[in-house]
Structure 1
Amino acid sequence: MTSSAGVGSQPASPAPEVVLDDATLVVRARDGDIRAFEVLVRRYQGPMYHLALHMLSDRGDAEDVVQEVFLTAWRRLGQLRDDPAFVGWLYRTTTNRCLNIIRARRPAAEADLDNRASAEAAGSPERAAQVSEQMIALASALTRLTPEQRACWLLREVHGRSYQEIARATGTTQTAVRGRIARARAQLAEAMSPWK
């Protein structure tokens, strides 16, 4: 008689971890499952932070925006009617919060642009080696775009969102999104022409 747990048998491997899709996690989170919401936060806090950081050029503001977005998401999860639309909702909320901050600080940001670029270029030798002139020029060019152009360009070029997703995130039409991205690309190409 042979035994299945006899000599030479391999110990049972642990069951693979099941990766749940966003819609399932949203449903569970809406039902009060904090761990499901934590998975959503871990999954999307990085992309939301990078979007906010690129739009705002300030780590503290970007962190604040992401924290506010996920706090709002937790509070308003019951209002979300289309569970698979959670990610689009996050992008739209993050984009709108960033646009509000940009609009509120725009005059100060325009006046500070030249001072900030000069300070970065004149920093320590180690810092100067880390920050290339091209990146400073691109950051400067991005701040000269309208907030709407910057949001559309970042959502498309950095985050790879579709025109339809961007239109929903910014509350406009796909045609308007395409126009904003085209104008943003033209302005950025002109600003970056010395580095071609």
Structure 2
Amino acid sequence: MTPVPLTALKDRYMPSSTPHAGWEDEELAAACLAGHAAGWNALIEKYKGLIYSIPLRYGLSQEDAEDVFQDVCVLLYEHLDALRDAGAVRGWLARVAANESYRKKKGLARVSGSETPDVPDPSGNAPEWLAESERQQMIRERIGQLSPRCRDMVRMLFYEDPPRAYQDVARTLGLAVGSIGFIRGRCLRQLERLLKAAGL
């Protein structure tokens, strides 16, 4: 099973700034359980890239990946209060998304009468790439902690397909073309510090 390129996630799967963007999972879970809609929005915003990336890993279409996303969100809503460790939300979501993706893939094969797809059953040992999906999620979280300008620049230069030309980045961000390389380096150093602090 081939890795999903970052560009496959598109803009809507990338981190963005929300009122609770800097909150830890425990804080977000508490806000959700207290009935705060903004907490739910922030939690879903934080993990949408992780959730979407897993059905794409299973080879599902964009439409089917959206179905899996909806199912996982419903399951999170139903089971969040039962999670013994709110800090384990990332791993729980990854596992549930894998289970739902596997179920969806098998169901589509049955409906079409095609041969059962050769995909890993996550109910046993988790696929090796699942840990990498969680790592990519942690990277997205750190990108979300960058300043708005750095976050937008990283998205345009590294997450869009094809990457934006410096001239386009400069025009979009209202910067001089000659300053893009310098600011890019500063943003990447900022991201590197965040990643090191997270043990990545």
Give the TM-score, by structure 2 length: 0.49
* Structure having the higher Rg: 1
Question: Larger % of helix: which?
Answer: 1
